[in-house]
């Protein structure tokens, strides 16, 4: 039992350390993306998916986060988030 707890702490600590290294591109909408997207997942998700997603892909992804995953993103913020992601991380 103690080994499992220690292993969990070590894995969690290393995961948190990696997340601190993710820095998004400075551009209009960055604070909105950081505030909304990091509530549910690491920001590295954005960088990992950027080679695959164009504007339509980011729009689909953001809408899925809201409608399917229950992300508490205000409807009026979604377009700015999609704009930021497609301009800075779209293919």
pLDDT tens digits for range 54-77: 999 999 999 999 999 999 999 999
Q: What pLDDT does residue 65 have?
A: 95
pLDDT above 70 (res 81) = yes
Which segments of 1-91 does DSSP mark as H helices, in order? Answer: 2-19, 30-37, 44-49, 55-67, 78-89
pLDDT tens digits for range 23-39: 999 999 999 999 999 99
pLDDT above 70 (res 8) = no
Which domains does the chain possess? Answer: 24-89 (1.10.760.10)
The four Cα atoms 47, 53, 54, 57 give a dihedral, to 10 degrees, of: -120
């Amino acid at each position: 039992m103690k080994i499992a707890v220690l292993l969990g702490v070590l894995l969690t600590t290393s995961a948190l350390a990696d997340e601190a290294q993710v820095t998004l591109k400075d551009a209009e909408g960055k604070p909105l993306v950081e505030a909304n997207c990091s509530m549910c997942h690491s920001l590295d998700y954005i960088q990992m998916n950027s080679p695959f997603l164009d504007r339509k892909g980011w729009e689909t992804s953001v809408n899925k986060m809201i409608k399917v995953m229950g992300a508490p993103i205000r409807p009026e913020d979604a377009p700015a988030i999609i704009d930021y992601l497609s301009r800075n991380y779209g293919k």
